[in-house]
């Protein structure tokens, strides 16, 4: 049996990644697409062979045959569309961040629960084979106790007139909300820890839009580790390696390029048995590092298949609304910390 999908918002991520992923998914079928720019919906219908193209949400939701919707519209549209979908009894895979604020995200989650529909969050980077492998190694104790971590995601995003993402009122936030959210989620997910306190500098260094173009965030995790996130809209695409690093009392896992929309990059594992005593030589031979190979796939296909399975088997989605709400709480507290110039609890 296949889950029949309606897609709400056929722009950037839906067109470029998630719909192609849905086409690969064995338990899913694209039935209807909708965009308030009707030309975009019609183009996607033609290209991917959907049955229907619409330019109102109501038309998608009126289709009895649709089981679930994937919402990939600008953040300020999420709440209204998700509430309508829940009211119509459709399960919802909602892009990150779920709402403009934590309060909005909680309202959506509560309403979905009351309506008896499943709500999943678009934190698809968890499905990367690299990230799964890192999680597996860390939970098997390969690094000992995790003491320090870092995640970086950047792009070059100069002013675009009318752009919703650069307008804090329509996006909820800039580099930190848009990109940092993946970094925070990955650090917590892979290490199996949760943020307890956060400090942050979110600012506009380069561009004059109302959303932050750069953010540096420091978290204290519930196991005592510290974690650093850097998210920028003002570093050229080819200049950053989007590093993801975990350090423990027995070694490290260092990744480059895995925080991405495609499953690519590399990870290196270094472990040390030489920790019994202080060694004044402070040997930093990099020859000990082992490149870890993984079998890569398509994160968006896995995301769609996983959510469809939750519907088919009546189980919790693998990435829950609560997961996304917690990460957004960290982001919201980080913005507050930046504004108030002090550390905030999560």
Ligand X SMILES: NC(=O)c1ccc[n+]([C@@H]2O[C@H](COP(=O)([O-])OP(=O)(O)OC[C@H]3O[C@@H](n4cnc5c(N)ncnc54)[C@H](O)[C@@H]3O)[C@@H](O)[C@H]2O)c1
Binding mask 107-146 for ligand X (x = CB under 6 A): ---------------x-x----------------------
Task: List, in order, residues 6 or more apart from 230 with CB less than 8 Å away.
Answer: 150, 151, 152, 154, 183, 214, 215, 216, 217
261 binds ligand X per the rule CB under 6 A: yes
Closest to ligand X by CB, 95 vs 301, is 95
For the bound state, the minimum distance from the C-beta of residue 304 to ligand X, rounded and expressed in Å, comes to 12
Q: What token pair was written down for 2?
A: 């296949």
Q: What radius of gyration, in Å, describes the C-alpha atoms of the chain?
A: 21
- Say how many residues touch ligand X, by CB under 6 A: 22
Residue 331 CA to residue 211 CA, distance in Å, equals: 13
Binding mask 2-21 for ligand X (x = CB under 6 A): ------xxxxxxx-------
Binding mask 30-69 for ligand X (x = CB under 6 A): -----xxx--x-----------------------------
For the bound state, the minimum distance from the C-beta of residue 138 to ligand X, rounded and expressed in Å, comes to 23
For the bound state, the minimum distance from the C-beta of residue 35 to ligand X, rounded and expressed in Å, comes to 5
Q: What token pair was written down for 169?
A: 């009122």
| Strands across the sheet containing 52-54 | 52-54, 28-34, 3-8, 68-71, 91-94, 119-121
Helix axes of 102-115 and 75-87: crossing angle, nearest 10 degrees: 10
For the bound state, the minimum distance from the C-beta of residue 73 to ligand X, rounded and expressed in Å, comes to 4
74 binds ligand X per the rule CB under 6 A: yes
DSSP-based three-state secondary structure for 212: coil
User: Which spans of this chain sit near ligand X (rule: CB under 6 A)?
Assistant: 8-14, 35-37, 40, 72-75, 77, 95-96, 122, 124, 178, 261
């Amino acid at each position: 049996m296949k889950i029949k999908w309606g897609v709400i918002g056929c722009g950037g991520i839906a067109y470029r990644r998630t719909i192609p992923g849905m086409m690969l998914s064995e338990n899913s079928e694209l039935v209807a697409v909708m965009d308030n720019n009707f030309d975009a919906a019609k183009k996607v219908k033609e290209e991917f062979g959907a049955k229907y193209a619409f330019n109102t949400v109501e038309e998608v939701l009126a289709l009895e045959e649709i089981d679930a919707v994937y919402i990939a519209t600008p953040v300020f549209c999420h709440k209204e569309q998700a509430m309508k979908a829940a009211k119509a009894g459709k399960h919802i895979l909602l892009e990150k961040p779920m709402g403009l604020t934590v309060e909005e995200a909680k309202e959506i989650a509560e309403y979905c629960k009351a309506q008896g529909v499943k709500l999943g969050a678009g934190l698809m980077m968890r499905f990367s084979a690299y990230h799964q492998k890192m999680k597996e190694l860390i939970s098997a104790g390969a690094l000992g106790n995790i003491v320090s971590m870092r995640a970086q995601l950047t792009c070059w995003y100069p002013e675009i007139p009318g752009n919703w993402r650069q307008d804090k009122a329509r996006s909820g936030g800039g580099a930190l909300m848009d990109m940092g959210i993946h970094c925070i989620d990955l650090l917590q997910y892979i290490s199996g820890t949760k943020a307890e306190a956060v400090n942050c500098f979110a600012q506009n260094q380069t561009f004059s839009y109302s959303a932050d173009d750069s953010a540096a965030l420091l978290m204290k995790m519930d196991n005592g580790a510290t974690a650093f996130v850097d998210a920028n809209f003002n570093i050229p695409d080819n200049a950053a390696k989007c590093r993801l690093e975990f350090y423990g009392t027995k070694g490290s896992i260092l990744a480059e390029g895995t925080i991405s929309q495609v499953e690519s990059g590399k990870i290196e594992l270094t472990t040390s048995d030489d920790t019994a005593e202080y060694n004044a030589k402070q040997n930093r031979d990099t020859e000990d590092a082992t490149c870890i190979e993984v079998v890569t796939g398509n994160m968006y296909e896995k995301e769609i298949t996983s959510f469809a399975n939750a519907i088919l088997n009546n189980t919790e989605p693998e990435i829950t609304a609560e997961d996304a709400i917690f990460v957004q709480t960290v982001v919201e507290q980080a913005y507050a910390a930046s504004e108030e110039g002090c550390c905030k609890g999560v």
